[in-house]
Amino acid sequence: MPGREQRDRDRIPLAPPAAAADAPGRVNLIGEHTDYNGGYVLPLALPLRTRVEIRRRPDGMVRAWTANVAAARTAGGGRRGAVAEYRLGGETPGRGWLDYVQGVTDALGRQGFALSGCEVRIESTVPAGAGLSSSAALEVALLRGCRSAFGLAIDDLGIARLAQQAENQFVGAPVGIMDPIAVSLGDEGHALFLDTRNLAFERVALPAAVELAVIDSGIAHRHAGGEYAARRGECERAARLLGVGQLRELEPADLPRLGRLPPPLDRRARHVVGENARVLAAVRALRDGDAERLGALLDEAHRSLSEDFSVSLPEIDLLVGLARADPAVYGARLTGGGFGGAIVLAARPGTARDAACRVVAAYRRRGGRAATVVVPPG
C-alpha cells in the first residue's frame, strides 16, 4: 500500500508536461559582495541543476510538488513530497519553499504577463544553503518553464531580472543581480566576467592548467537572514559618507580615503575596492593561463572576506586552510554570501576531486562537520 509521500506525489499528474525546463547552480570564482555595490564578478555554472515540469490548469490555482529535501530547504523548510497550492494573485509570503514559486508568479503578474493556473513538479541536485545559488536555479528554471508553457516574451536577461525581483520583493532576500544572471547566462566551461553596473558581460574560458572543486561545508546560510542585509547596509552607508553613489566608483588609489570612515565601514569598503581589483586580475590570470596567480588571488580574497568583510566562520577558515595546505591546490576561498556555505578551490588538472576529498577527510579529523565534495561529482 503506498505511503503518504507516494500519495502526495500521485496528486501531481505524471502525464507529459506542457513544458520542462532546468537551470544550473553556480559557483562564484571571485568577486564576492561586489554585485550590489555595482562591481565586477566572475561566476560560472555548475553541473548541478534544478529541473521543473509545468502543466497548465484551466483555473487560477497553482499546485506545486518538490521531489527532494534539497529543493524544499531552498526556502528554509517544507516536507519532502508535499504538495502545496495557492491562487494566482493571492501569493502570500511565509510558506517555506513555496515562496520561491509564489515569488515567480508574483513577479510575472506585476510585469503584466498573463498566466493561468498550473501544476509544477520540482527536482534539484543543487545543495541548498551552500552558497551555490539553489534559489536562483529554482527561480530561473521556473521562469524558463513559464516562458515555454505560457508563450511569454522574455529573454534570458529578462528572466534574470525577474528572478532577482522575486527574491528581493517577495522572498525578502536583498541579493544582487549576479546569481540570477550567472544561472541564466552562464555555462560550465567559461567564467562569466560581469560588470554589474551596466550588465556587460564576457565569457572567459577556464585554462587547461586549472581544475575547480567545490566543497559544501554542511553549514547552511540564508540570504534572507539579517547578516547579509547588514553587510549591504554597511556598504551603502560607506558610499554615502564617501560621497559616491556606489563603492564601485572607488579605485585602489582611493584606499587612503577609507581611513576617514568609522569602523567597520572602513573594512567593508576596503574589501569591495580590493575585490573589484582582484576580479580584474583574475580575468587576466585566466586569459594568461596563470594558475599560480589565480590561486594567490583566491587566497587574498578569502583573507579579505574573513578579516575585512567578516562573513567567514572558523569552520570555513579551517576548510580553506586545509585546502591551501594540499600540494595539488593553487588557492581556495569561501564562495557565496558567507556565514556558512561552500568553498571553491583551484587545483592542478586531474587532481581536484582527490584533493577535495583529502580536505574533507582532514576536516572531519579536526572535528569539522560532515563536509561534502559536490564538484567534481563522484
- CB-CB contact of 50 with 22 (8 Å): yes
pLDDT at 341 > cutoff 90:
yes
Burial code (b: 16+ CB inside 10 Å, e: under 16) for 15-37 equals: eebbbbbbbbbbbbbbbbbbbbb
What would the pLDDT profile of 289-313 be if each residue is shown by its tens digit? Answer: 999 999 999 999 999 999 999 999 9
What would the pLDDT profile of 18-32 be if each residue is shown by its tens digit? Answer: 799 999 999 999 999
Question: Looking at residue 80, what is its pLDDT?
Answer: 52
Range 180-193 average pLDDT: 95
What would the pLDDT profile of 125-172 be if each residue is shown by its tens digit? Answer: 999 888 899 999 999 999 999 999 999 999 999 999 999 999 999 999
Please report which confidence band the pLDDT of residue 10 belongs to, taking 50, 70 and 90 as the band edges: very low
What would the pLDDT profile of 66-89 be if each residue is shown by its tens digit? Answer: 986 444 444 334 445 568 999 999
0.95 surpassed by pTM: no
How many angstroms separate the Cα of 130 from the Cα of each of 30, 184, 214, 248, 357? 16, 19, 10, 27, 17
Q: What percent of the chain has pLDDT over 70?
A: 90
- Bin 203: left if φ > 0, else alpha if -120 < ψ < 50, else beta: beta
Cα 199 from Cα 185, distance rounded (Å): 11
Question: Looking at residue 78, what is its pLDDT?
Answer: 45
Question: Looking at residue 51, what is its pLDDT?
Answer: 96
For residues 249, 253, 259 and 260, what is the CA-based torsion angle, rounded to 10 degrees? -50
The residue with greater pLDDT, 75 or 246, is: 246
Mark whether 288 is an active-site residue.
Answer: no
The three three-digit cell numbers of residue 135, written as one number? 534559489
Annotated catalytic residue within 106, 179, 216, 326: 179
- CB-CB contact of 68 with 82 (8 Å): no
What would the pLDDT profile of 204-244 be if each residue is shown by its tens digit? Answer: 999 999 999 999 999 987 654 588 889 999 999 999 999 99
Question: Looking at residue 220, what is its pLDDT?
Answer: 85
